[in-house]
Amino acid sequence: MSGKKLASFGSYFIQFAAILLVLGGCLVTDAFAQSENEHVQVGVFADYFRLSQTDSNLVGIGGRASVIGYKRLKFEAEAAYDFSRAFTEGQTNNAGIISVVRTNVRVIHGLFGPRINLGVHNIQPFVTIKGGGMAFSLDNAPVTFGTFGHNVGNLRVNSVSPVLYPGGGLEGHIGPIGLRADVGDEIYFNHGAHHNLRVTFGPVFRF
């Protein structure tokens, strides 16, 4: 390649690199501006909850809202309702006879806590830890008066349990509209700690 062609190629390369730098700077500036201008975020989501105690896969819907605490720190509240799902319940009566029946369970989740974004770009990972409660609704036990044992007896006696939820996920935005995916371990405490996989996915809106 001649020196003249090499110089021409170098000039085009410098111009192309300059354009990329300008575009990149605009994107980063836009991300910073959106982050600075954002005050409230709301969203809806589809909810998947793996209830380990009954070995059930529940699905439902929910919503959340968050406000800026300090820079990348946000405080967030959310609630979700999981639709009725049947599972096999074992029962033992006072004669020691075991019976198996089908029972429906529904779950309501309520959580609040901090969330920390780990980036400032349009696609941001985040981590969160929340506390709250979980309410279980089970069908009336279809058994006789003599029945006293259930494999979910603790949930019938104490239908509302305290919850700890450590988790994380990814959030992406184009302007004020985005998508968010969360995954975590929703631990409820009812005669011991019960670990449950929870996954949510849905749109978010920033104001």
Per-residue pLDDT of 103-114, as tens digits, reads 788 899 999 999
Q: Which residue has the higher pLDDT, 186 or 138?
A: 186
pTM of the model: 0.73
Asked if residue 136 has pLDDT above 60, the reply is yes
pLDDT of residue 153: 57
* CA distance between the termini of the chain: 55
Q: Are the C-beta atoms of 56 and 82 separated by less than 8 Å?
A: no
pLDDT of residue 7: 46
pLDDT of residue 19: 55
Reported as a pLDDT band with limits 50, 70 and 90, residue 27 is: very low
Strands (E), the chain: 40-51, 56-70, 73-93, 98-117, 123-138, 147-150, 160-174, 177-185, 187-189, 193-194, 197-206
Give the Å distances, CA to CA, from 127 to 83, 117, 168.
27, 7, 4
Asked if residue 1 has pLDDT above 60, the reply is no
